[in-house]
Amino acid sequence: MRAMALTLLLTACATTPVDSEFVVQDGDFAGLETWQHWQIDATAPGSFHTTGPRIVYLNRKPPAGATAFPVGTILVKTLLNGSGDTFAMVKRGGSYNADWAIGWEWMEITNKTGAWQIVWRGNTPPDGAGYSEDGVSCNLCHSMARSNDYVQSAALKLPIP
């Protein structure tokens, strides 16, 4: 009887949904160059971040018909302007960044040592990061894509077939 009660309890716990949160680590960017990716050649004036060609990487597509990106989604953008600047947005989930791009965390990453490392991370770039211009932040621009779970890339328009 005790064994059956324990089995039922463990089964219930294993199937109970949990409001999960994914906190990305340096190692989660390993193999980035092999992820699904595409080059964007169009430019959007106004920021070095959106001007010029760049490559966008996606660690995994959301399920067909999804209206939001799942927790654990990693999008990486490498600028092809000679700077090598690389930025990421990660679907952290939970209540992270609840006042802006709900669930998304922003970061800059680098691969100067042969392995990807996070330079900075947060719900906005740190002061002096050289990322935001005139007070414009990741959240402000990405809020324009609220209907697409804050992802601006036309290649990732939800729902994905």
Q: Binning pLDDT at 50, 70 and 90, where does residue 141 land?
A: confident
Check pLDDT > 50 for residue 118: yes
pLDDT on residue 137: 81
One DSSP character per residue, 50-110 reads TSS-EEEEES-PPPTT-SSPPTT-EEEEEETTTT--EEEEEE-BTTTTTTSSTTEEEEEEE
Domain range summary for the chain, segments of one domain joined by +: 20-156
- Residue 147, helix vs strand vs coil: helix
Strand partners, 86: 78, 109
Least confident of 10-24, 44-58, 112-126: 10-24
